[in-house]
Amino acid sequence: MGQAFESMSGKHIAFLQAQPCFPDLPAAGQIFDLAIDRVQTSCGSSVPEMKVIRHRAELELVPFFEKMSDEGLDAYQKKKNMVSIDGKPTGLAERLQ
């Protein structure tokens, strides 16, 4: 189990403590505080080897979000970021009302 802390709010002490560990990117979502009770490893022989060709944040994400107004960012997040990839509420609904 875990808990998501909205990056925009800064209401939770865990978020404030963790924030300096992450780059300051436009439209940052949440920081997750996870309680992990089991970790499993494998030999990895069936996992393909991949190489990092480039980092997309500086070339694509930052310029995309820097061009947006605050209202545009809110509209984008209302459309794209209300639930997580696993269908859980992100907590943005309260801020974007």
Asked if the structure places residue 61 within a domain, the reply is yes
Residue 6 has pLDDT above 80, yes or no: no
- Average pLDDT for residues 70-96, to the nearest whole number? 84
Do the domain assignments include residue 43?
A: no
pLDDT at residue 13 in the model: 72
| Residue 73 maps to a domain | yes
User: 49 lies in a domain?
Assistant: no
In a domain, 42, yes or no: no
Domain hosting residue 13, numbered range: 2-37+54-95
Classify residue 60: in a domain, yes or no. Answer: yes
Question: How would residue 73 be classed by pLDDT, with cut points 50, 70 and 90?
Answer: confident
Mean pLDDT for all residues in the chain: 79
Q: Rounded distance, CA 78 to CA 61, Å? A: 18
State mean pLDDT over 68-84. 88
Total number of domains in the chain: 1
Q: Residues 92, 6: contact at Cβ < 8 Å?
A: yes
